[in-house]
Structure 1
Amino acid sequence: MTKVKTSAQDVIMARRRFLGAMAAAVAAGSGLYPRGAFAQDQAWAMRPDADVDQINFVVWQFGNIYDDIAAKFEADWGIPVEKIIEPNIDPQIAKLTSMYAAGEDIDVLVSPLQTMASYIDQGIAAPLDGLPGLEEYAADMTPLARSIATRDDQIWGLPYLSIAWNFIYNSELLEKAGFADTPFTTWEELTEQCLKAKADGVSNHPLLWVAGAAFDPLPGTWFAQVANRGGRIFAPDMTPELGPGSVAREALQYFQDSFLKHEIADPDSLNLKFLPAVKVFNTGNHIYLGALHNYYMNVVNDPAQSPIAGKGRIHPMPGDGKTLAVTWYYMLSEATRDREWAWKMLQYLGGKTQDGVYTQALALAKSSMLAPGYTSVLNSPELREMWSERVDVDAMLNIFDKAVPYPEVVPAVNEPWYPQWNEMLNVELTACLRGQITPDEACDNMIANIDKAKA
């Protein structure tokens, strides 16, 4: 079978069609992604003209979702699906890049934020502009999902999931500490409540952080604090905002003080990534857990997984609640065997199935409380009813409303040198929180490490 690649001319023509549609929309006063600008009605239900022997996707394991969606695709369209599923993110990245280097067919892939820019710059991923029905999806995407998916006026993926950083508290322990249902509203109040709880013997370490060294856990907890205080790690031109007097240093000083000066933070936090931290929190020995992703409320309040089920409450970051958030995406490959069929598969993973339902997004939201990247799904009564069993839905949605996209706080995440710098960042943060260096020294080292990461 002849392999069909997306040429540079295809991309240029797609871009021209996209820009032309945008210009028409602006002239009509209908906004950036109007309904019907260049879409075909019910594009997700239309069969492509060409035929293919099979279609594939390269993903990491998440329950049985890929078996289920592949079976539905095969039943709906009669096209076999090759499922290339790795156990987690790192081997999936390795598998994907090795397949691309070897010239193998890749139709659809999943990407966390840290690899999106690299896939785009290397040509592994292809833009979606010009594909039928895209503007329908773009119009329905949440502002968070649409902003991160857009680069150079092109859409590069359909949402896999959206996550926002927040706190969780144990309502029973908070009441024992004398604060009933009045959790902190400022960083200072967080410290005061934890100090009182510690002094009264309610909890030896009332505060548990997600602070295990890895790409997102420890850096994300710090980044969320910086974002909440109105700061950034980098300016848009990649100048670090880590110097003396910076918001980043202020947040890091608070972070360190919780361990060393006030001794309210559990030292074991430095060994805990997301799920392990939740499991420790579920033992019922801590009042607060932060900062972590919203969907872990599904674990905290699940009677089958948590001894404190029913006592966990989601809580926003202090002050105005500004926080960090991100969306991950399913992307179309530049190495696809057929662009139209690959688009069909991409929609099954990140959009609508033949029946016009957001099948995958709904399944993930129901089973795991993973926030969908589409407004219509996020606001559906069906989802609200199910989520209400585990979380205050209005409180969680309000956290998303106050969220700042990850790339606005850490724009360097899209730079090729960022993964190396992130590894160095984890070393500096850990040393600082252990008291081996000061926050000022840590930030000075982070600045110096930028050139090292680029080398």
Structure 2
Amino acid sequence: MTKVKTSLNDVLLARRNFLKALAAVGAAGAGMMPGLSLAQGAYADRPESEVDQLNLVVWQYGNIYEEIAARFEADWGVPVERVIEPNIEPQIAKLTTMFAAGEDIDVFVSILSTMASYIDQGVAAPLDGLPGIEDYIADMTPLARSTATVDGKLWGLPYLSIAWAFAYNDELLTKAGFEGKPFASWDELTEQCLKAKADGVSNHPLLWVGGPGLETLPGTWFSQVCNRGGRIFDEDMNPEMGPGSIARETLQYFQDSFIKHEIADPDSLNLKFLPAVKVFNTGKHLYLGTFHNYFMNQMNDPAQSPIAGKGKIHGMPGDGATLVATWYYMMSDATRNREWAWKLLQYLGGRTQDGVYTQALGLAKSSMLYPGFTSVAQSEEVREAWSDRVDVDAVNQIFASGVNYEKVVPAVTQPWYTTWNEQLNLELTACLKGEISVDVACDNITAAAMAAKG
């Protein structure tokens, strides 16, 4: 019997033909599966071109990038270089430095406030015309779809969607005399905290996410402004923080919680999201606000939290209006191969070779990251995974009451936003410490915006 040599290309061609045949035979059945598109070439077919390797530029989140890169290499035989920074700020610096130096960049992750800059600078490339893109667009949640669409073009696949919310310690709420009745208005939040303080339930009942950053301290202020029906800029990027504005009145409330009422923990001004959650988990505070919804995972995990089971998510008062946003995986204009970069981008923000939203589903189940695709967000698999750590209906209601970040802070889409944001953090911190008045802070923030805008 004569052995016939079979090349790697022969194997890959046979596999591709097999998958196409399988798709044809199973099309009717596949069409009945929730969220499964019939345009299988978007994720199942090997590109006609070849590439030696690809890379991704991201910030650390567990081992998800090591795992997805290993799966991509196993499926396609293409190694993935992982450029992973410890958190958001270093990742932004690394990405922009690589781009400026003319290095290859295939895919990367972006928060909302950096997307516009990446598009404007040419770091990002639009996804229009890529195979299967229309199916992804159709399955995106309205929030994820609207934010990713700029000038009629789609610029990314969703990493996760975020809502700003409160949490409360159910045990302390009961001790303070408000069993099952968290605040329903901003005045009531103050009243409950004052009573809890007076009764010795908590020295500082209110913990804010108040550490300076792109979306920490600013987001806590913006979310309060949003809930009260205000905004930070109008559609023409003119600041709306003048005398009598909702933004200014809201900042006064924010400052009062520290200075006038002394119900807010002063350490709040040093705490970003996860550190704030860890402090709240010590069980010394009645309320935490405003944090990203997915941190309920850490709050009610017995392995991570002394108050597991006592932390409850709580929406904003009144009609519940709150900030919502989506972060994205994007393709770089500096990619070495657009076809293969699209394939890798789908592994991060779309479907893997088997047609499953592997990463979105995995992160939703393990870390409670809210998916940017409707078929994943509404799946029973996700509901079952979340039900022991959070009131799933409450989370969905919070998102249903969400107001797109861009409507409250339209300037987030402008390249100058990050520069202005740095000054914003300085002024807000000084104000909340009582070093400057609310009026001075808002005047300075407005002046900084006009200067950055040019």
Give the deviation of 1:299 after TM superposition. Answer: 0.9
Measured in 1, the distance between the counterparts of 2:211 and 2:248 equals 20
Instruction: Answer yes or no: is 1:413 the counterpart of 2:412.
Output: yes
Counterpart mapping for 1:276-425 below 5 A: 276-425=275-424
The TM-score with structure 1 as length reference comes to 0.89
Give the deviation of 1:77 after TM superposition. Answer: 1.2
| Residue 234 (structure 1) aligns with | 233
Stretch moving more, 351-360 or 206-215:
206-215
| Residue 100 (structure 1) aligns with | 99
Stretch moving more, 232-241 or 45-54:
45-54
Q: Is the 8 A contact 1:301 1:312 kept in 2?
A: yes
Provide Cα deviations, 1:342-368, integer angstroms capped at 9, x if missing partner: 101100000000100000111111221
Measured in 1, the distance between the counterparts of 2:260 and 2:79 equals 60
Provide Cα deviations, 1:271-329, integer angstroms capped at 9, x if missing partner: 21111111111111111000000011111111111111100000001101000111111
| Residue 32 (structure 1) aligns with | none
Q: Is the 8 A contact 1:108 1:333 kept in 2?
A: yes
Q: Determine what percentage of the aligned residue pairs are the same residue.
A: 73
Give the letter for the 2:147 counterpart.
Answer: I
Provide Cα deviations, 1:360-382, integer angstroms capped at 9, x if missing partner: 11111122111111111111111
Q: Is the 8 A contact 1:42 1:356 kept in 2?
A: no
Measured in 1, the distance between the counterparts of 2:239 and 2:276 equals 30
Measured in 2, the distance between the counterparts of 1:86 and 1:283 equals 29
Give the deviation of 1:42 after TM superposition. Answer: 4.6
Measured in 2, the distance between the counterparts of 1:441 and 1:95 equals 35
| Residue 68 (structure 2) aligns with | 69
| Residue 25 (structure 2) aligns with | none
Measured in 1, the distance between the counterparts of 2:94 and 2:235 equals 32
Three-state SS of the structure 1 residue aligned to 2:217 is helix
Q: Is the 8 A contact 1:107 1:336 kept in 2?
A: yes
Provide Cα deviations, 1:190-232, integer angstroms capped at 9, x if missing partner: 1111111112221121111111122211111000000001111
| Residue 206 (structure 2) aligns with | 207
| Residue 11 (structure 1) aligns with | none
Give the letter for the 1:384 counterpart.
Answer: R
Instruction: Answer yes or no: is 1:177 the counterpart of 2:172.
Output: no
Measured in 1, the distance between the counterparts of 2:412 and 2:324 equals 13
Q: Flag structure 1 segments of 5+ consecutive residues without an equivalent.
A: 1-34
Measured in 2, the distance between the counterparts of 1:275 and 1:99 equals 28
Runs of 4+ in 1 over 4 A off after TM superposition: none
| Residue 151 (structure 2) aligns with | 152
Instruction: Answer yes or no: is 1:274 the counterpart of 2:279.
Output: no
Stretch moving more, 180-189 or 206-215:
206-215
Q: Is the 8 A contact 1:129 1:154 kept in 2?
A: yes
| Residue 7 (structure 1) aligns with | none
Measured in 1, the distance between the counterparts of 2:449 and 2:318 equals 31
Provide Cα deviations, 1:353-412, integer angstroms capped at 9, x if missing partner: 010000011111122111111111111111111111110011011111111111111111
Number of residues paired by the alignment? 419
Q: Is the 8 A contact 2:40 2:355 kept in 1?
A: no
Instruction: Answer yes or no: is 1:124 the counterpart of 2:152.
Output: no
Q: Flag structure 2 segments of 5+ consecutive residues without an equivalent.
A: 1-35
Instruction: Answer yes or no: is 1:163 the counterpart of 2:162.
Output: yes
The TM-score with structure 2 as length reference comes to 0.90
| Residue 265 (structure 1) aligns with | 264
Three-state SS of the structure 1 residue aligned to 2:43 is helix
Three-state SS of the structure 2 residue aligned to 1:265 is coil
Measured in 2, the distance between the counterparts of 1:67 and 1:146 equals 27
Change (3 A) 1:270 1:94: closer
Give the letter for the 1:219 counterpart.
Answer: P
Three-state SS of the structure 2 residue aligned to 1:45 is coil
| Residue 134 (structure 1) aligns with | 133
Three-state SS of the structure 2 residue aligned to 1:303 is coil
Measured in 1, the distance between the counterparts of 2:82 and 2:279 equals 35
| Residue 435 (structure 1) aligns with | 434
